[in-house]
Structure formats: structure tokens, C-alpha cells
Amino acid sequence: MRCRVVAYNIRGFRDDVEALGRIVRDLHPDVLLLNETGARWRLRRFARVHGFEAATDPWTPLRRRAKDAVLVRPPWRITEHRQERFAGSAFLYPRAALIADLDRERRHLLAVAIHLGLHPAERRRHVDEILETLGDGRDPVVIGGDMNERPEGRATTRLAKSLPDAWTRAGEGPGDTIPATAPVARIDYVFTSPGIDVVRAWVPDGADVAVASDHRPVVADLDIPDG
């Protein structure tokens, strides 16, 4: 079954929200893996307007949020979700994995949104935690988000050994994602378990993409196996 996944750091809806909406409508993703999702009410409104169900970080008054989300469009549905906060994250900028179990007919997919730290050692620890959390499960897995690291970085390389980078498998055109106006680096990714076939992966271009966020999105068309 074909499934379009988009990983996107949207910078808290602080840029051109109308342009962001047009990008999402044009791409028509089944699954959105978002970073820097901003205020919950903005994310809920965005999801409602564009026809998504949203899995977000849990509410807490005692610590700063790690603002990642997984959004899905019917007939995909979220059966459960949870946030796994990484140990040793910077206090002001906590990092986590937002993990959602998705179902559609006979297909099951584990979708994970991540946004890693700014320091190399921190990112390597976070990747180790992600892989330990996922374990050796049999369900297809897709991970997307802002790694804050180029493809040759040790954290990215480590994750890609277990969950191959969709871009290296089927990337088309320029793959750089930041800055959105004239990108020179690829730090945003979609990773998949080896059993998922990557049909195509690309980074969109255009006027809306340049103003909707400081990042460009990564798009991957995937074939999800029967579960």
C-alpha cells in the first residue's frame, strides 16, 4: 500500500502559515512527522483544517515541552501514541521521540517524529535510545525529523545502519533542507525499516517552501507491506 510521509520542522507556525497550508494541500501526505510544533491550539487547528488526526506531546506543568507531533489522514488512524523523552537533554531544549502506532486495513506502521540535540555526543546518545526503544519489533517503522546533523555525522550514520535513509535509497534532485530560502545542508530525514520499499524521495522547491519555515520538508513515497 502506498503511503506518502512528510517530515517537516515548521518552526512553531511562526512563519507564513498560509504558505505552509498550501504546501500540505499540494503534497497531500498520509503521515506528517513534525518538529517545533509550537502552541497546542495552533497545531490542533492546523490538523483540523487540513483533515488530520494528531498525536502530540503530553501536557505537563512541571517541565518544558519537546514539541514533536505525528499527524495522519484517514483512512490511516492512530491507535495509540506516547512520547519517550531522551535522558540528558539540555534543560531549556528537551528532546524526545513522539511514537504513534498507525493502522489502515491490514497495514500497521510505527511512525516516529524526532528532533535531536545540537551537540554531537547528545545526538549519538539519542539515537542509541531510539534504537533501544524500538527494539527488534516486526512492525514496519518510519522515523522522520530534524537530526541537526549532515548525512556523514555519526548519529545519522548510526541510525541509517538500522533504518536506511530514504533519500539514499530513492532521492531525486537536490536534497538540502536548510535554510529554506537557499538550502546548503541536508539535516532533515525520513528513515524506514528495510522491509519498506522507498518509491521516491525528494525535497520540494518553490515560493511557498521558501517562506513557510526556515526548513524545507522531506517527502517520501513508501510501499507499506501487509501486516
Cis bond before residue 75 (omega within 30° of 0): yes
Residue with the bigger pLDDT between 45 and 64: it is 45
103 pLDDT exceeds 70? yes
What CATH number has the domain bearing residue 35? Answer: 3.60.10.10
User: Which one is predicted more confidently, 167 or 105?
Assistant: 167
Confidence of residue 227 (pLDDT cuts 50, 70, 90): low
Q: Which whole number is the average pLDDT over 63-75?
A: 92
Q: What is the DSSP letter of 226?
A: P
| 133 within 8 A of 85, measured Cβ to Cβ | no
- The residue with greater pLDDT, 13 or 89, is 13
pLDDT category at 129 given cuts 50, 70, 90 is very high
Number of folded domains in the chain? 1
Look over the chain and give the mean of its residue pLDDT values, rounded to a whole number: 94
Please give the pLDDT value at position 40.
92
pTM of this structure: 0.95
Flag whether pLDDT at 63 surpasses 90.
Answer: no
- Residue 13 carries which side chain, given as an amino acid letter? F
SS3 of residue 168 by DSSP: helix
Q: 104-129: buried (b, 16+ CB within 10 Å) or exposed (e) per residue?
A: beebbbbbbbbbbbeeeebbbbbbeb
Q: Which domain holds residue 20?
A: 2-223
**Over the stretch 27-38, which tens digit does the pLDDT of each residue have?**
999 999 999 999
pLDDT in tens, 17-28: 999 999 999 999
Mean pLDDT of 160-186: 96
In 3D space, the residue among 135, 177, 171 whose CA is nearest the CA of residue 7 turns out to be: 177
Question: What CA–CA distance (Å, rounded) separates 216 from 178?
Answer: 6
Helix axes 40-49, 17-27, angle to 10 degrees: 40
Using the Cα atoms of residue 211, residue 165, residue 190 and residue 226 in order, give the sign of their dihedral: positive
Average pLDDT of span 195-221: 97
